Amino acid sequence: MHIVIIGSGVAGVSFAEKYRALSADDDITLVTREHDGYYSRPLLSRGFSKADIEQTIILKPFNKLRENNIKVLCDAEVTAINRADKSIVILGGQALQYDKLILAQGSSAFIPPPFRLYEKLFFCLNSLSDLKALRRFRQGFLDQNQRPDWAIVGGGLIGCEVASDLAVAGDKVTVFHAMDRLMERQLAPEDSILLLKVLQNSGVNVLLNQAVQAFSREKDKICVKTEATAGFDGLIVACGFKPRNELAELAGLETGRGIKVNQQMQTSDTSIYALGDVAELPNGKLYAFILPIRNQAIWLAEFLAGQQQGFWTPPVFTTKAKVHGFEAVHPYNV
């Protein structure tokens, strides 16, 4: 049997390693657009306060997986899934046949429609290549003994983490948040207030109830237009994530916010499964956190190896915002 996995994040890699451990004979091919290896997504939020992050973020080089008899095709963009002949098409390459296909492409940054016109004016922080681009931009300022003045649009989990890390690294940071409190989706109101104080104490300027309307470039500044207009050196949009559904949609699989799966992680095609950020369970939920994703991946590997029956059920889990000096009092809403 040939199992093909698309994506080399925690879902794809955990699945590949577990399945390899359970089945020595089947062929496993992991296809990924990444280049550097399997890296820690949570550590993206510590990308500025740590000098050696571009090396230490790599948890496993792809060769480590190859040594484990997992074939890895990196720098590979999949352009189509041909369900009729059970193959995928790789850009500039040939078709790859599969018996079972695992979709684990993760998510990209969600860009609110009004901002899409301005994509050249802002950064996102959703992948290691995003982080490297941001670090290069920032280094340009440091090389001239300057500190960039940042605007971050979005006061959710990623926005707060990045604001905190840039401030701790010594930069000037302003957060624009649309709602009346930070991380309102995950935190109790009391903890949002605590988080606000922690960020303010590290020097972050937090602006709540901000309706950001547009961006513009004025000489070497990027301007954020709300009721007033303010200029910054760099702009980061952190407004949530969007599952990478495109391939599944093109192939005619059932999709909603993510790729629809049953409780055995199977899509509307019986040979195709989905894991992680892209998988939408029958209860409408996407479990976009490391712990449940690893749990899903391991469950599916066991299931496909014939060592698991029944249905995947989410484990009890929590999360933790990686904001320097912040500990929530109440449990997170996940």
Partner 1 sequence: MSDYKKYQCGVCGHIYDEAEGDPDSGLAPGTLWKDIPDDWRCPECGVEKSEYALMA
Nearer CB in complex with partner 1: 111/291: 291
Interface positions, 178-237, toward partner 1 (CB under 8 A): none
Nearer CB in complex with partner 1: 46/100: 46
Min dist CB 254 to partner 1, Å, is: 30
Q: Cα separation of 256 and 292, whole Å?
A: 20
- 3-state helix, strand and coil shares in percent for the chain, rounded to the nearest 5: 30, 25, 45
Interface positions, 264-293, toward partner 1 (CB under 8 A): 290-291
Nearer CB in complex with partner 1: 198/235: 198
Stretch of residues binding partner 1 (CB under 8 A), selected from 72-80, 126-134, 266-274, 316-324: 316-324
Q: Cα separation of 50 and 220, whole Å?
A: 27
Nearer CB in complex with partner 1: 154/292: 292
Q: Which residues, in sequence order, are CB contacts of 306 under 8 Å at separation 6+?
A: none
Taking CB under 8 A as the rule, does residue 296 contact partner 1? no
Min dist CB 274 to partner 1, Å, is: 20
Yes or no: say if 12 and 295 are a contact pair by the CB < 8 Å rule.
Answer: no
Min dist CB 208 to partner 1, Å, is: 26
Interacting residue with partner 1 among 2, 23, 26, 42 (CB under 8 A): 42
Give the phi and the psi of residue 98 in degrees, each rounded to 5: -135, 155
Taking CB under 8 A as the rule, does residue 56 contact partner 1? yes
The DSSP code for 32 is -
Taking CB under 8 A as the rule, does residue 317 contact partner 1? yes
Yes or no: say if 301 and 12 are a contact pair by the CB < 8 Å rule.
Answer: no
Taking CB under 8 A as the rule, does residue 40 contact partner 1? yes
Interacting residue with partner 1 among 3, 4, 5, 10 (CB under 8 A): 10
Interacting residue with partner 1 among 20, 100, 181, 294 (CB under 8 A): 294
Min dist CB 294 to partner 1, Å, is: 7
Q: What is the DSSP string of 224-276?
A: EESSSEEEESEEEE---EEE--HHHHHTT--BSSSEE--TTSB-SSTTEEE-G
Min dist CB 125 to partner 1, Å, is: 16
Query: Would you tell me how many other CB atoms lie within 10 Å of the CB of residue 132?
Result: 15
Taking CB under 8 A as the rule, does residue 241 contact partner 1? no
Q: What is the DSSP string of 203-229?
A: T-EEE-S----EEEEETTEEEEESSSE
Taking CB under 8 A as the rule, does residue 118 contact partner 1? no
Stretch of residues binding partner 1 (CB under 8 A), selected from 41-49, 91-99, 178-186, 263-271: 41-49
Q: Which residues of 15-37 are buried (b: 16+ CB within 10 A; e: fewer)?
A: bbbbbbebbeebebbbbbbbebb
Q: Cα separation of 7 and 74, whole Å?
A: 10
Yes or no: say if 250 and 285 are a contact pair by the CB < 8 Å rule.
Answer: no
Yes or no: say if 279 and 299 are a contact pair by the CB < 8 Å rule.
Answer: no
Interacting residue with partner 1 among 23, 26, 36, 43 (CB under 8 A): 43
Which residues of this chain interact with partner 1, rule CB under 8 A? 10, 39-43, 46, 56-57, 59, 290-291, 294, 315, 317-320, 322
